[in-house]
Amino acid sequence: MHYDVFNGDADGIIALLQLRLAEPKASTLITGVKRDIQLLQQVPVEQATSVTVLDISMEKNIVALEALLSNNIQVFYVDHHRTGEIPTSPYLDKIIDIDANTCTSLLVNQYLADKYVLWAIVGAFGDNMLLAAEKLAQQAGLSDSEQAQLKALGIYINYNGYGRTVDDLHIAPDVLFTTLLSYPDPFTLINEANSIFAILEQAYLSDMAQAKQASVLHDDAFLQLIELEDAAWSRRVSGVYGNELANQEPNKAHAVITLNIDASYTLSLRAPINNKVGAGELCAQFDTGGGRAAAAGINQLPKEKLGKFIALVSKYYQ
């Protein structure tokens, strides 16, 4: 039995989409909300014969990965997050690149030699890899309007991945992936009346309009921090709103926080667009934190540690 394990954001979904369009395979899907990254432990070692893992940190899944490898289960792992020490095993086939300017969709696109390059562009835009996405779009000969459409689709799919639980999302990530399999060309989806594109666009615009009324909790030359209310809409928009803020002011870091049930914060951090380093390292200093150089987060930041976070980030980017 094969298992496909993937992040529920745009990068994870579209990385797998490219693979399964090119290499159809019956599989059991394991995914979740954007922040549900310890997914590999859900693979039953006694049942799995092979596993594909996309866009989740090897460092955060190392125990489950080593269990699979020690049971001679073939694993294909593609990712751009922090790895920790990578196991050496004949059963591990990997494509790992933690460069801040790439993402899993782009790595899969290279692996497939541009076979589904339009979807790779969507994935890169969704993961806020704007320069890489624009370069690939130009190479593909897209017009400005076509590029804008793919960018919008990527943002909407990424937006759909954020929430406390799948109930916060408009479409469950496994359902979204399965639906997208019917569209080898993303423009077919975009131009289809009442499609997922139209549904997510309307929801995204509504949530973003509310986000733009949010309170600025901290703002200096190095970091802006926005606080959103404890609501499903704010959890959905936290990541994409952070991306938008980062793109608007590329020389400073941006963080978006939302209140959790236990009175802690969920936090999304974006490194300065013009200095895409350190976000994962900074968030990893807190329990439940991690990510990559350009973008990272903390699932449960105690309120009393918010001041420490602000001081660390501002000092780091001075």
Tens of pLDDT along the chain (318 residues) come to: 999 999 999 999 999 999 999 999 999 999 999 989 899 999 999 999 999 999 999 999 999 999 999 999 999 999 999 899 999 999 999 999 999 999 999 999 999 999 999 999 999 999 999 999 999 999 999 999 999 999 999 999 999 999 989 999 999 999 999 999 999 999 999 999 999 999 999 999 999 999 999 999 999 999 999 999 889 999 999 889 999 999 999 999 999 999 898 999 999 999 999 999 999 999 999 999 988 899 999 999 999 999 999 999 999 999
- Cβ atoms of residues 37 and 267 within 8 Å: no
Residue carrying structure tokens 């666009």: 201
The per-residue pLDDT for range 63-119, each reduced to its tens digit, is 999 999 999 999 999 999 989 999 999 999 999 999 999 999 999 999 999 999 999
The per-residue pLDDT for range 158-190, each reduced to its tens digit, is 999 999 899 999 999 999 999 999 999 999 999
The CATH classification number of 2-200 equals 3.90.1640
Ranges of beta strands (E only) in the chain are: 2-6, 28-30, 50-54, 74-79, 92-96, 215-219, 223-228, 253-259, 265-270, 289-291, 295-301
User: Do the domains spanning 2-200 and 212-316 agree at the CATH topology level?
Assistant: no
Residues pairing with 92 in the sheet: 75
Topology (CATH level 3) of domain 212-316: Diaminopimelate Epimerase; Chain A, domain 1 (3.10.310)
CA angle 83, 298, 7 (to 5 degrees): 55
Nearest to 210 by CA among 256, 265, 268: 256
Nearest to 268 by CA among 6, 9, 39, 62: 9
The token pair that represents 146 in the structure block: 């076509």
Residue carrying structure tokens 């699932």: 299
Q: Which amino acid type is present at position 152?
A: A
Please tell me the distance from the alpha carbon of residue 36 to that of residue 45, in angstroms, as a whole number: 20
First to last CA, the chain: 51
Structural domain spans, the chain = 2-200, 212-316
Nearest to 210 by CA among 246, 258, 266, 247: 258
Q: What counts of helices (H) and strands (E) characterise the chain?
A: 12, 11
